[in-house]
A and B are shown apart, each in its own frame.
Chain A
Amino acid sequence: MKQLCSLMLLCLFVPQLAFANSKYNLRPGVTDISENVYQLHMTIFIICCVIGVIVFSVMFWALLRHRKSKGATAATFHESTKVEILWTAIPFLILIGMAVPATKTLIAMEDTSKADVTIKITGSQWKWHYEYMGHDLGFYSLLATPQGQIKNAEAKGENYLLEVDKPLVIPTGKKVRFLMTSDDVIHSWWVPDFAVKKDANPGFINEAWTKVNEAGIYRGQCAELCGQDHGFMPVVVEAKSPEEFDTWLAEQKQAMLDQADADAALLDQTLSHEELMSTGEQVYMTRCVACHQPTGLGVPGVFPAIKGSPIATGEIKDHIDIVVHGKPGTAMQAFVSQLTIKELASVVTYQRNAFGNDTGDTVQPSAIQAFIDGEEQ
């Protein structure tokens, strides 16, 4: 309580200093907009505190002084049109005072014109896909926290649940426009330091923008309940200087070309069953495990089991089909654009042999490629 009182006092008298980036309050963030939002928040908070203090001082005065046990006798007044008008009009004027700066900030936030960089953000259960428009570059960003930390088997790291395998990279000092959409349910892309939170709705494209002043790593989370692993869908953004950003962009494009070459080279190779199994296990434990569970048993009535499943023990072609194309209208996604052909081959091999499925099948990357090519013809 004492801590609470001092907190209240602190923010009343030194709103600028009051726990910047603290565990108690909104953060001023790293953009002009987020700073404005923070100031707006503090202004309204202080107005509310002042009103509260005045109204409740009057009330507690009455509770202390006008009590029966002190011999107070009740007065008989019970209406006054003048007073009623007064306490309708004054709050109204205060509201106008709040609405003016709020309107200005909102208009600035909604102006997505004249962007330097445009990034399309697509949410899906439970990952983000980032696409640099006009640069032919895109990638998925997934939770990087190991299952062991979540299940309390290992010590939790510093950025527990707020770390990804591949962060979004943006340049500082440039206006970056975000286009949000979703492949399945509604998600919401949120980075508190930018004061950007926008829903990713299937079938819609929403817009937001930011202009980051300081280089750094900024962390957020999905803010709209999107199913089982809603709490495990972080957003990490790395802001780099424009020069470093350009270098990074060039590296990424090169890496994509290298990957394509590696895929092409794989077509002539035969990978060992063991290699496919071990890669497959890794892929399964990051991509499949959320729904189908580490045991392969799924969640009855929600997510089907892999163990003994007619698909994972039946025709190889059907199995590849569902992994590559997903199952429309369900949470099963099309993984063709998310995984390399080696990863696809590995995970299919793994599922056909793990959990006692023991089909003994080995699926090579070339089989995956043949399946995809066969579709195209």
Chain B
Amino acid sequence: MSTAAATHEHHGPATGIKRWLFTTNHKDIGTLYLLFSLLMFLTGGAMAMVIRAELFQPGLQLVDPHFFNQMTTVHGLIMVFGAVMPAFTGLANWMIPMMIGAPDMALPRMNNWSFWILPFAFAILLMSLFMDGGGPAFGWTFYAPLSTTYSNDNTALFVFAIHIMGASSIMGAINVIVTIVNLRAPGMKWMKLPLFVWTWLITAFLLIAVMPVLAGAVTMVLTDKYFGTDFFNAAGGGDPVMFQHIFWFFGHPEVYIMILPAFGIISTIVPTFSRKKLFGYSSMVYATASIALLSFVVWAHHMFTTGMPLAGELFFMYSTMLISVPTGVKVFNWVATMWRGSISFEAPMMFAIAFIVLFTLGGFSGLMLAITPVDFQYHDTYFVVAHFHYVLVTGAVFSIMAAAYYWLPKWTGHMYSTTLAKWHFWMSLISVNVLFFPMHFVGLAGMPRRIPDYALQFADFNAIISIGGFAFGLSQLLFVAVVFKCIKAGEKAPAKVWDGAEGLEWQVASPAPYHTFETPPEVK
């Protein structure tokens, strides 16, 4: 007995920096991912502040157009690959083993590796900003030939950084799939899986399908630029439009990679605080799978103005419109879950409700963008910027905040300051709409995206947008305060933090012990 206890001691965390560098523990790695993502969120946010400061007034005031383009490009890359995706991977690391009754992720050493290559990727990307000629300035979509023939010599750093991010994502995805398929506790049947696990499983398949396509695209950019190939160079028989087809074949599933786990989070939180089972569990699973499948056949709706045959435009318009059907089903199911529930408004629920309303708003503008003839007017204007920030900020980012407020007591063992959390919520909610809602107006009125200066009729709204931007940026410091205060101290949290919560993660103590479910629980 005493020896058993002694060996058990050895499984505790190492001390100091070694704990974090060499860890193979899913909880430690989850924490690393989440903190890294928070750091990147603030870094990318700082770049957004530069963009909004320059756009506060017409005319060039603070930065030159070349640097402005670097800011829009790196802001996009950091938010997509550095903030949103690692945050979801962090949540997957922390929660999936605990939700399915597994002791850890299936491939713990690879787990360590897939996290620890990320800081290098972003260091390379950020370093390029300080080199002669600056960082990537061709938009996060890096359309050729702007990113090949006409880019500067630092493009190789961008390519290398993207390769590392892609490798990290693929490894993370493999780990998620292997864990879910093999390590479910006895009795955890497929149709009993928590929805967060389902949505992540489907996301992981999307990642494995499309990250290699992105790797192919950046490799072709690399060889076109440095090794004399002509994949995208029309003068050498290549095709610049093909670049866009390849990029968006990755890019469209990518946007679902950033939203499907969010659906899982909302489907977890809404039932908890409605104290009622999720309405239409199986239809939620099928809707997620249909969205994932449809995401492979809609990519060219990003390219309606590139000059496609009529039949192509019609096909991609119809297939894109279809996506609103399963997405609608999800929203209806969430509303039906709340209907005749016993609802209370804790911080996670408030973010979840805001998600439902504002994500749907982004969905509506998405449906409008699907209509090809009108898309010709919307395309590459601030209307598009408004659309994807509604689905990514008030969608993906709000769901991540909701998840953090939902599971933070489980991770730290402390309850956070609910007052501060509510302040964070209301300030974010108001400022985010001041920030993104007027973008619809300037977009419809004709302001193109990715410009450092604009015509005078857009001036009033841009000033408002910038003020909203600064307020939203500052509000996020409250979130940082809540998180770090909660890590340090706070009221002791019980095992089951929320009275309406269900799932295996609430059966273990708070904070979750370093090792959980070493003997699998029995799921009835």
Contacts and interface: CB of A to CB of B under 8 A. Distances in A.
Given A150-B60, A184-B145, A75 B338 contact: no
| The 7 residue pairs across chains A and B that have the minimum distance between CB atoms | A301-B133, A203-B234, A231-B451, A301-B132, A206-B307, A78-B277, A48-B364
A48 B369 CA distance: 12
A139 to B, nearest CB: 23
Given A59-B335, A202-B240, A204-B241, A67 B342 contact: yes
B342 A66 contact: yes
Interface string B40-65: 00000000000000000011110011
Contact of A161 (B143, B241, B455): B455
A114 interface: no
A188 interface: yes
Contacts of B338: 59, 62-63, 66
Given A37-B373, A74-B276, A110-B310, 14 more contacts: A37-B376, A41-B368, A51-B364, A56-B357, A59-B335, A68-B344, A79-B281, A84-B280, A161-B455, A204-B234, A207-B307, A227-B150, A299-B66, A299-B133
A325 to B, nearest CB: 15
A126 B388 CA distance: 28
Interface hub of A74, A75, A221 (most chain B Cβ within 10 A): A74
Interface string A326-352: 000111000000000000000000000
Interface in A68-84: 68-69, 72-80, 83-84
Interface of B: 58-61, 64-66, 69, 131-134, 137-139, 143, 145-146, 149-150, 152-154, 234-235, 238-241, 274-283, 305-307, 310, 313-314, 317-318, 321-322, 324-325, 328-329, 331-332, 335-345, 353, 356-357, 360-361, 364, 367-368, 371-374, 376-377, 379-381, 437, 441-442, 444-446, 448-458, 460-461
Contacts of A98: 321, 371
Contacts of B460: 23
A201 B367 contact: no
A301 B131 contact: yes
Contact of B379 (A75, A80, A201, A223): A223
5 contacts: A68-B275, A160-B455, A185-B146, A231-B65, A301-B154
A134 interface: no
Interface of A: 4, 22-27, 36-37, 40-41, 44-45, 48, 51-52, 55-56, 58-59, 62-63, 66-69, 72-80, 83-84, 87-88, 91-92, 95, 98-99, 102-103, 105-107, 109-110, 125, 149-152, 156, 158-162, 180, 184-186, 188, 190, 192, 195-199, 201-204, 206-207, 220-232, 299-302, 329-331
Nearest to A72: B342
B65 A76 contact: no
A266 B373 CA distance: 51
A275 B364 CA distance: 60
Nearest to B59: A152
| Main SS class of interface, A | mixed
B445 A23 contact: yes
Contacts of B373: 36-37, 40, 102, 105-106, 109, 195
B280 to A, nearest CB: 5
A79 B282 contact: yes
Nearest to B499: A68
A36 B449 CA distance: 24
Nearest to A198: B305
Contacts of A79: 279-283
Contacts of B324: 91, 95
A8 to B, nearest CB: 11
Contact of B340 (A52, A69, A74, A203): A74
B313 A106 contact: yes
Contact of B374 (A44, A150, A221, A230): A44
